[in-house]
């Protein structure tokens, strides 16, 4: 079930910030009323597609910051594993240079509450607890506004890396709608024409295109 139009599930968990400092009780609540948030999940530290995405977010971090938006990553690894990966050079498969927060969802409750844990709890015929699937997060991205509401979500299977430019485009669209009250048509990007959410507005837009 989608979380779009719902409040982002709250959490407090350990995280690594600034690429070097472990903090307890990290929460997205600190950004309420102040900043937009791109909150993304990735499967595991020290893997293959994950570092390409994490470093791609870092490469675009100034673009997100220019839009008054923070980027926060999360996986089910421990904060110590996050820190070790952050201290590993890129030419060794690490993510050294990443400065945005990485949350440690070791209890897996954050991934469960966001609906993107790649498996589910079950019981065998003897009543013993089992887990079906992989107890790690799928590749999921959530765009959260200043009021804490989720406006967009994307969930990918493990082999499918996400497009960071598309995340920026969606952030631009959300902020344009918030500022101008218009809606963004297909393939809209910053600088292109939007349209009024009326029959006349749609007709005018389609007549031009």
126-131, Cβ contacts within 8 angstroms, sequence gap of 24 or more: none
User: Which entry of 50, 69, 74, 184 is annotated as an active-site residue?
Assistant: 50
Active site residue 50: yes
Contact status, residue 167 vs residue 143, Cβ threshold 8 Å: yes
- Annotated catalytic residues are 50
């Amino acid at each position: 079930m989608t979380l779009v139009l719902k409040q982002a599930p709250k959490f407090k968990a350990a995280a690594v910030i600034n690429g070097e400092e472990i903090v307890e009780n990290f929460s997205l609540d600190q950004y309420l009323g102040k900043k937009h948030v791109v909150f993304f999940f990735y499967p595991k530290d020290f893997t293959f597609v994950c570092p390409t995405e994490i470093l791609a977010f870092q490469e675009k971090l100034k673009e997100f910051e220019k839009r008054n938006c923070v980027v926060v990553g999360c996986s089910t690894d421990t904060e110590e594993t996050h820190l070790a990966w952050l201290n590993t050079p890129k030419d060794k498969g690490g993510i050294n240079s990443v400065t945005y927060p990485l949350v440690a969802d070791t209890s897996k409750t954050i991934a469960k509450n966001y609906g993107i844990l790649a498996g589910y709890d079950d019981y065998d015929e003897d009543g013993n607890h089992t887990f079906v699937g992989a107890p790690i997060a799928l590749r999921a991205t959530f765009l959260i506004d200043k009021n804490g509401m989720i406006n967009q979500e994307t969930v990918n299977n493990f082999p499918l890396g996400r497009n960071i430019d598309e995340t920026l485009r969606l952030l631009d669209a959300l902020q344009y709608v918030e500022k101008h009250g218009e809606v963004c048509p297909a393939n809209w990007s910053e600088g292109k024409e939007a349209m009024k959410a009326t029959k006349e507005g749609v007709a005018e837009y389609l007549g031009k295109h």
